[in-house]
Amino acid sequence: MNEAERDLDVRLMRHAIAEARSARPSPLPPAAALLVGPDGEVIAAAHRADATQDSPELAAIEAAGEIPEGSSLVLTIEPPNEEDSESVDAILKAGIKRVSIGAIDPNPEAAGGAATRLKEAGLSVEVGVAGGEARALIAAWHKVVTQGLPQVALKLALSLDGRIATRTGESKWVTGPEARVKVQQLRAHCDAIAVGIGTALSDDPRLTVRDDALLVGGRAPSRVVFDTKLRLPTNARVVETAHEVPTWILAGADAPQDAEQILVDAGCEVMRIAMTAEGRVDVGAALQQLAAKGVLRVLIEGGAELAGSLLAGCLADELHGFVAPILLGPRGRPGAVDWAGPDKPADAPRIVDPSWEVCGKDAYVYGRVAYPES
Ligand SMILES: NC(=O)c1ccc[n+]([C@@H]2O[C@H](COP(=O)([O-])OP(=O)(O)OC[C@H]3O[C@@H](n4cnc5c(N)ncnc54)[C@H](OP(=O)(O)O)[C@@H]3O)[C@@H](O)[C@H]2O)c1
């Protein structure tokens, strides 16, 4: 393959990745397929719109109708290799001679299987085209498949002195409207949005995504409250709207049964989760439960205690911090994250390669978190 052909391959793969990103088909990974004619023109494009839809290669082949000689297929992810999957057979039947694949299936039992079958059938198969971007597209699904845990993003909106609320516990609003729009967009890319019961009681948040922020297709993110003892009242906004948007309450094994019944009657789902030695919902076990419920990506929105447990367990993959140019004090109250913390700054969890943006009057810093001690 010459350089021009390689460039075209990468350009087409990026086109397919952008197509895949237009939907959030959890618990399946985003995926897209392009059917490309002999001159590099896109004849048909298809993406997985929701979890009921199987593989976009089938839709692209069908949409193309007549397939010209010398056509190729661009796939963001390797087709499924299960016996009942029609994908490989459909590709062979369509007479396609070349397939370019972004990411290999992370499932150890399936990895590379379909690519090998296509090669053995005589097709030219290129694997890892725009590989970093294609793997990033399915990173959350990759984590669920390989670790049984969802991808976890932690959001903090804090003052310059590292506080998330005033001395009265008020946090509306620490940051400005532009930052809050960004938070809406973060929510729109998640399958669940979680808070601790402290936040649910003090802020009474709705934890929904505004319609104008729904840039991607997919079901509304579920609202999750970490509430060991089931203290959430039925007049909380998340409970009052539980029939419209899924509301999951993560409770300890010994939370009162009658409190569970009241919340269930109000439309919530109560999940009993293993507890820590301190008698709280175990965050790791809770995340496993969310993965089992089909959550690929969760946004944890605080407060300080829940954020502390998450960081103490090295469980946040990404940090999204919004820093407002204000000072809140107050003496004696915990900062944005309530935990023991490291002995030395060098041992602190940190954003490895931070991106900084100005967001209205606030600063927005985000990126992947690394835990030096782990
Ligand atoms: N600026 C911001 O971005 C922002 C965002 C959110 C909140 N806030 C502010 O933060 C304050 C609330 O924060 P908070 O720290 O008091 O409460 P929180 O973190 O929202 O909730 C803490 C409570 O959650 C329950 N929980 C269950 N499992 C837990 C676990 N594994 N780890 C930690 N907590 C667990 C515990 O109560 P049980 O033991 O009873 O279950 C715990 O007391 C409010 O003032 C709010 O306005 C600010």
Tens of pLDDT, residue by residue over 76-97, are 999 887 766 788 889 999 999 9
Tell whether the model's pLDDT for residue 374 goes beyond 60. no
Compute the distance from residue 336 Cα to the ligand 1 centre, in Å.
Answer: 10
User: How far is the C-alpha of 98 from the C-alpha of 125, rounded, in Å?
Assistant: 6
Most distant CA pair in the chain, distance: 74
Site to probe by mutation for ligand 1, drawn from 161, 166, 197, 282 as the one with most ligand atoms within 8 Å of Cβ, is 197
Burial classification of residue 201, based on how many CB atoms lie within 10 Å of its CB (0-12 exposed, 13-18 middle, 19 or more buried): middle
Domains and CATH numbers, the chain: 3-139 (3.40.140.10), 148-370 (3.40.430.10)
Beta strands in the chain (DSSP E): 32-36, 42-47, 72-77, 98-103, 124-127, 151-159, 192-196, 222-226, 247-251, 269-272, 297-300, 318-324, 350-351, 355-359, 362-370
| Contact criterion met (CB below 8 Å) for 291 and 327 | no
Q: Are 42 and 72 in contact (CB under 8 A)?
A: no
Mean pLDDT of 325-350: 90
- Give the per-residue pLDDT at 339: 93
Element (H, E) at 115: helix 113-120
**49 C-alpha to ligand 1 centroid (Å):** 35
Tokens of 56: 């976009």
Cα-to-centroid distance, 207 and ligand 1 (Å): 15
Task: Supply the pLDDT for residue 299.
Answer: 98
Mean pLDDT of 51-68: 90
Catalytic residue among 19, 57, 301, 318: 57
301 carries an active-site annotation: no
Check pLDDT > 70 for residue 344.
yes
Given a contact cutoff of 8 angstroms between Cβ atoms, the answer to whether 195 and 306 are in contact is yes
CB of 273 within 6 A of ligand 1: the answer is no
pLDDT 10s digits, 289-328: 999 999 999 999 989 999 999 999 999 999 999 999 999 9
Greater confidence, 4 or 24?
Answer: 24
Sign of the C-alpha dihedral computed for residues 140, 144, 145 and 147 taken in this order: positive
Q: Residue 216 — very low, low, confident or very high, per pLDDT cuts 50/70/90? A: low
Ligand 1 atom nearest residue 231's Cα: 40
Torsion angles phi and psi, residue 270, rounded to 5: -105, 125
CB-ligand 1 contact for 159 (6 Å cutoff): no
164 CB less than 6 Å from ligand 1? yes
Q: Cis omega before residue 27 (within 30°)?
A: yes
Q: pLDDT exceeding 70 applies to what percent of the chain? A: 97
**Confidence at residue 83, expressed as pLDDT on a 0 to 100 scale:** 65
Mean pLDDT of the chain: 93
User: What is the bridge-based pairing of β-strands 222-226 and 247-251?
Assistant: parallel
Q: Answer yes or no: is pLDDT of 214 > 70.
A: no
How far apart CA 324 and CA 159 sit, in angstroms, is 5
Phi, psi torsion values for 64, nearest 5 degrees: -70, -30
Q: What is the pLDDT of residue 219?
A: 77
Is the model's pLDDT at 54 over the cut of 90? Answer: no
Question: From the CA of 305, how far away is ligand 1's center (Å)?
Answer: 5
Residue among 196, 186, 198 at smallest CA distance from 152: 186
What's the confidence (pLDDT) of residue 1?
76
Distance 227 CA to ligand 1 centre (A): 9
pLDDT value at residue 72: 95
The residues, any chain, with a CB within 8 Å of residue 116's CB and separated by 6 or more, are none
Mean pLDDT of 185-198: 96
Q: Please report where in the chains the tokens 């004696």 appear, as a residue.
A: 332
What is d(CA 233, CA 180) in angstroms, rounded to the nearest whole number? Answer: 26
What pLDDT, in 10s, does the model give residues 19-38? 999 899 999 999 999 999 99
- Average the pLDDT over 173-183 and give the result: 94
**Ligand 1 lined by 208 (C-beta under 6 Å):** no
Q: What is the pLDDT of residues 155-166, one digit of tens each?
A: 999 999 999 999
Regarding the beta carbon of 78 and ligand 1, being less than 6 Å apart is answered no
The reported pTM is 0.93
Pick from 160, 180, 182, 226 the residue to mutate for probing ligand 1's pocket: most ligand atoms within 8 Å of its CB: 226
3-state secondary structure 158-227: EECCCCCCCCCCCCCCCCCHHHHHHHHHHHHCCCEEEEEHHHHHHHCCCCCCCHHHCCCECCCCEEEEEC
pLDDT of residue 215: 58
pLDDT beyond 80 at 254: yes
Tell me if 193 CB under 6 Å of ligand 1: no
The span from the CA of 159 to the CA of 138, in Å, is 34
